[in-house]
Structure 1
Amino acid sequence: MKKTYYLFNPGQLERKDNTLKFTPVVEDGNGEESVGAPRYLPVEDINEFYVFGSLRANSSLFNFLGQKDIAVHFFDYYENYTGSFMPKDSLLSGRMLLAQTSAFQNKKKRLLIAQKFIESAAYNMIKNLQYYNRRGKDMEDIIDIIKGYAAKLRETVSVDELMGTEGMIRQTYYDAFNLILNDFEMGNRTKQPPQNEVNALISFGNMMCYTLCLRAIHQTQLNPTISFLHTPGERRYSLALDIAEVFKPVIIDRVIFKVLNKREIQEKHFDKKLNKCLLNHSGKKIFVKAIEDKLLETIKHRTLNRNVSYRHLIKLECYKLAKHLLEIEEYKPFKMYW
């Protein structure tokens, strides 16, 4: 299986024959640079890069990455996702593009798909709460409230109304974080910038989930710019936002609960300054490794009757949506069954 590489340190990435060479570069306070020992990466083992530090590269490198179907995702200093280099769409399909566009333009079909995304997200949130309810955390009232909202999702008559209901579901769900977490408090959901440790992990994790979904979409015939729940907009792959709704509770939230309650990430792993709270260098490494470990875990897939990884579940979700759009099979979004 191909690997995901995370580049936290500044450096230069270049082609070296049929491998990639990464050379870390460190600047001191006087503007002087020191070069670290280079690391050679065989391209056949690489699926994608996540770049968190300053990266030096040239067009020759990106031509090579494109040929080898290797994506690169970029994040700025403040942990904001800024964009991706994606290889050429080798799976483009005019038939799929027309079907996807037609479903978006049909208000009834679009709303049905959007409702399914939120139904799945709410179901997976409830599964998380039930898990902790069985372990002595009193979640009954919160679960009942979310179930009440979820029962009315099919009654919504527009995507805007659906998004309003989704907002109430998510706010209620976030209220449970204070009960689940032992040493940290959620407070209000704050994004740009996050104001505390839990919000910092949610924002960073959600961006990771978004890029995972974007990569999975790119490996199918779906067009990432045509979405159903989130309004398609300029300069964003909004379908990845749609699919991420299904998997944020399954992957990101469970990792957050684990790393905080097991004290793998502590207060020392955050930087607090200028009215913002962000993961520091060591905190990012721990959190990213925990997400990667989760993606490598496998579950017994009920339909395929074999073990599949959480990473592969996202790609399977894209295939299911594609079949629905082509009217081959009704879309049934992923719901946790454990």
Structure 2
Amino acid sequence: MKQLLNTLYVMTQGAYVCLDHETVKVEVSGTVQMQVPLHHLGAIVTLGNVMMSPFIMARCAEDGRAVVILDRNGKFKCRVVGKTSGNVLLRQVQYEAVRDRERSALIARNMVAGKVKNARQILMRGARETGNADESTALRKAGDILADALFHLKDVTDIDHVRGLEGEAANAYFQVFDRMVKEEDRPTFRMNGRNRRPPLDPMNALLSFLYTLLLNDCISAVEGVGLDSQFGFLHALRPGRPSLGLDIMEEFRSVLADRLALTLINRKQITEKHFEVRPGGATYLDDAGRKEVIMAYQKRKQDEFHHPILDQKVPFGLLPHVQSRLLARHLRGDLEHYTPVLYS
């Protein structure tokens, strides 16, 4: 089993990240603020005006350690990538599978089924936990729509039909998502469906930031097993889009991001004060909010989940890697189907 390594997030503006032998140093105004053994890190993520020495960037690229650069709001800017590695024959069968519309649709169907099933679990849990009968009814009705989508997915072999069912389920899910926020905090975190680029309310800003963190982990997992993150099955191919990273992320959105967002809000770890509203209505987490979210996300990744295929406990942070390996085994012909993670 792959070891779950830490991700170093550097958010202090003006910080400088460098390599001292086998230790990563973070300096601010010439003063060392922290040191971390390089072998403890699986990735380095910087936000905003953070500088990195070319030596540490080259070393991370050589080792296959992800280096991701985000702007101060958490928007993706670039990744540092080393020489192409992995099994070229695996990527070849991946490309062939993407071109095979029927096979591609079947893989996408299973991914969407995992996403919808996990999202429905979140809704049903919310319906049980709320003390308001009207809220419980609304959440259960949305859960019924997702159950209906699952029922129809089992017979679908067309990729556009798969995407249509996924869209209907996502729309129903986000129409009631803010009903799982405690009533006293709901005015702040009310959302009118999902919006992005830019997010227009605090809830969407929080979800977008968590999805960025999760996507970077999924891209690293996909590339770590030798697959091409640009060639996906559910998400259409577009220049610059990490389609397979987005595919793998779908079944984890509700488990690793959505549920965490609700926990942070309901425990008042994230409040109205953690957001900035820009001209035009764009809403983003502030520095304190991003720090709070990153710490909670890192902690969540340490929690364990019993994986039914492996029949053993796996940290949540390793699930993207495990699912990427299962997908690779399916593409090679070692597994008949790609089986998504189902959270219960």
TM over 0.5: yes
Residue type of the alignment partner of 1:67? E
Give 1:151-162 correspondences, 5 Å limit. Answer: 151-156=151-156, 158-162=158-162
Write the distance in 1 (CA, Å) between the matches of 2:94 and 2:278. Answer: 44
Which secondary structure does the structure 2 equivalent of 1:134 belong to?
A: helix
What's the offset of the Cα at 1:3?
Answer: 1.4
**Counterpart position of 2:339:** 332
Q: Which amino acid aligns with 1:150?
A: L
Is 1:9 the counterpart of 2:12? The answer is yes
* Contact 2:275–2:286, Cα closer than 8 Å, also in 1: yes
2:51 to 51, 56, 66: 56
Does residue 40 of structure 2 align to residue 45 of structure 1? yes
State how 1:115-194 maps to structure 2 within 5 Å. 115-136=109-130, 137-138=135-136, 139-156=139-156, 158-182=158-182, 183=185, 184-194=189-199
Residue deviations 1:42-88 (CA, integer Å, cap 9, x gap): 21111111111312234333222223332111111332112211344
2:302 to 273, 279, 296: 296
Displacement of 1:154 in angstroms is: 4.0
Quick one: which amino acid aligns to residue 12 of structure 1?
Y
Is the 1:43–1:68 contact (alpha carbons within 8 Å) kept by the matching residues of 2? no
Q: 1:18-33 alignment to 2 at 5 Å? A: 18-25=22-29
- The corresponding residue for 2:269 is 264
The answer (yes or no) to whether the contact 1:121–1:246 under 8 Å persists in 2 is: yes
Q: Distance in 1 between matches of 2:200 and 2:289?
A: 16
**Higher RCO, 1 vs 2 (CA within 8 Å, ≥6 residues apart):** 2
Is structure 2 residue 192 aligned with structure 1 residue 198?
no
CA contact (8 A) 1:8 1:51 kept: yes
> For the residues of structure 1 that align with 2:311 and 2:162, how far apart are their CA atoms?
34
Structure 2 CA distance for aligned equivalents of residues 220 and 197 of structure 1: 35
Q: Secondary structure at the match of 2:252?
A: helix
- More divergent stretch after superposition (154-163 vs 188-197): 154-163
Map of 1:112 onto structure 2: 106
The answer to whether 1:306 aligns with 2:312 is yes
Measured after TM superposition, the shift of residue 155 of structure 1 is 4.6
Q: Do the aligned residues in 2 keep the contact of 1:71 with 1:87 (CA within 8 Å)? A: no
Distance of 2:314 and 2:73 partners within structure 1: 34
Q: 2-side partners of 1:120 and 1:110: how far apart?
A: 16
Aligned residues: 327
Greater mean deviation of Cα atoms: 64-73 or 109-118? 64-73
Counterpart of 1:246 (choices 239, 251, 272) is: 251
The answer as to whether partners of 1:193 and 1:277 remain within 8 angstroms in 2 is yes
Q: For residue 21 of structure 1, give the secondary structure of its aligned residue in structure 2.
A: strand
Structure holding more helix per residue: 2
Structure 2 residue identity aligned to 1:315: H
Alpha-carbon shift at residue 228 of structure 1 (Å): 0.5
Q: Percent identity?
A: 23
Any conservation in 1 of the 2:68–2:78 contact (CA below 8 Å)? Answer: yes
Coordinate RMSD, CA, aligned: 1.7
What per-residue deviation string (whole Å, max 9, x for no partner) do you get for residues 219-272 of structure 1? 202221211011122223210000111110111011011001111100011111
| Residues 83-98 of structure 1 mapped to structure 2, 5 A cutoff | 83-90=78-85, 92-98=86-92
Change in CA separation of 1:45 and 1:155 when aligned onto 2, cut-off 3 Å = same
Distance 1:72 1:317 in 2: 22
Which residue does the alignment assign to 1:207? 212
Aligned 8 A contact 1:117 1:333 in 2: yes
**Which letter maps to 2:162?**
L
Greater alpha carbon shift after TM alignment, 61-70 vs 281-290: 61-70
Please name the residue that 2:260 is paired with. 255
